[in-house]
Amino acid sequence: MDYAAFMRAVGSGRTPPVVLLHGPEPLLLDDAVAAVTLALFPDPSLAALSREVLEAKEAGVEEILRSALTLPCLTPSRLVVVRGADGLPARQAEPLAAYCKAPNPSTVLLLLADETLPASHWLLRLPPPAAMVAARRPAGRAVLTWLRGRATSAGFELEEDAGALLVELTGEDLGALVGEVEKAALAGGPENRRVGVAEVQAVVGEHRLRDVFELTDALAARDLGRALGVLASLLQAGDEPLAVLGMLAREARATWQAQEWLRAGRSPDEIVRALRRPQAAAAALVRLARTLPPRAGSRRLARCWDVERRLKLGAPPRPELSLLIADLCAA
């Protein structure tokens, strides 16, 4: 089961009796715990009576199962959350597997692992009705979809253009994005729940805002000197290299998308509207896409992925990003 399907099932009251949720993004794990808690205990005061949170290494399988088998008191259900489940030793697999075959119907046992488990991990061999849920970080366009959904669940109305701008300016760190949505809402007043482009611009530093737009404009114009100057400014100001790479990759992705739409016969005016960017910026990107050789858009995007791999393997950020910008500005 994927994460989105699991969250839909929880929201409709169909939480499996045993769930293994694994992935490296703490916010997604915390959101899942909050969703299951709300589904089982609509009255928050009841959660204090029948929700128990255990650390796997400290508790061990015996204590976990004892808690899972405990009957609820004054509530129809119990929730047992086990953090760090991937720290349980494989030798304790048998009693946990036996419980999964016949779980306590009044308990939801939620096992959390804060990394994506390899297919060979013994936890992934637990028999049904254990639900295996991989909480993968969203990437690319999926980040905007996730952010708008997350904002809605928190009571905010995040406009699509505002969300896209926020991702472009902030990067793809989920926790940082959620915090920026909340700050942007407050920029509209203490009771404001709507976040538009004006609210986003109000909370993003003017210097960073100017640098980001300057960088995207320089890339569209293939102005290598200007683009390298903005890169130096961003890195000197303390921007994370992977966040800067995220900006470059989004530009490469947008250029590739524009080139594919042109190849499919869509008109430049239609593509400008579909890009959901300021008119001048979108028009400049379409002009760039029209001048690139066939398939250049996909090669530029693949180059960004290659730099991401290199940075994560420890390559020095500034030379890698400078060479990438030189490639993106090349004819």
- Enumerate domains of the chain plus CATH numbers: 3-134 (3.40.50.300), 141-203 (1.10.8.60), 206-329 (1.20.272.10)
Residue 65, pLDDT score: 95
pLDDT digits (tens, 9 = 90+) for 61-79: 999 999 999 998 888 999 9
Spatial contact of 129 and 111, defined as CB atoms under 8 Å apart:
no
Inform me whether the pLDDT recorded for 40 exceeds 90: yes
Residue 34, pLDDT score: 92
Residue 185, pLDDT score: 87
CA dist., res. 6 & res. 25, Å (int): 16
Residue 61, pLDDT score: 93
**What is the amino acid identity at position 312?**
K
Q: Is 234 helix (H, G, I), strand (E, B) or coil?
A: helix
pLDDT tier at 197 (50, 70, 90 boundaries)? confident
CA dist., res. 310 & res. 307, Å (int): 5
Buried b (16+ CB within 10 A) or exposed e, 254-279: bbbbbbebbeeeeebeebbeebebee
pLDDT digits (tens, 9 = 90+) for 237-265: 777 888 888 888 888 888 898 999 998 88
Across the range 80-89, mean pLDDT stands at 93
Give the residue among 299, 256, 312 at the shortest CA–CA distance from 140.
Answer: 256
Residue 81, pLDDT score: 96
Inform me whether the pLDDT recorded for 207 exceeds 60: no
Spatial contact of 262 and 271, defined as CB atoms under 8 Å apart:
yes
Look up tokens 């300016």; give the residue: 169
Inform me whether the pLDDT recorded for 137 exceeds 80: yes
Average pLDDT of the residues of the chain = 87
CA dist., res. 180 & res. 170, Å (int): 8
Give the residue among 267, 271, 230, 234 at the shortest CA–CA distance from 254.
Answer: 271
Helix extents (H) in the chain? 3-11, 26-40, 44-50, 56-69, 93-101, 141-153, 160-170, 174-187, 197-203, 206-221, 224-236, 241-263, 268-275, 279-291, 296-312, 317-329
pLDDT digits (tens, 9 = 90+) for 148-180: 989 998 889 999 888 888 887 777 788 888 888
In the chain, the percentage of residues whose pLDDT exceeds 90 is 39
Kindly tell me the sign of the dihedral angle through the C-alpha atoms of 241, 242, 246, 249.
positive
- Long-range CB contacts (< 8 A, 24+ apart) of 199-202? 199/162, 200/162, 200/165, 200/166, 200/169, 201/165
Q: Which has more confidence, 145 or 172?
A: 145
C-alpha distances in angstroms, 277 versus 150, 199, 214?
22, 16, 14
Inform me whether the pLDDT recorded for 206 exceeds 60: no
Spatial contact of 177 and 203, defined as CB atoms under 8 Å apart:
no
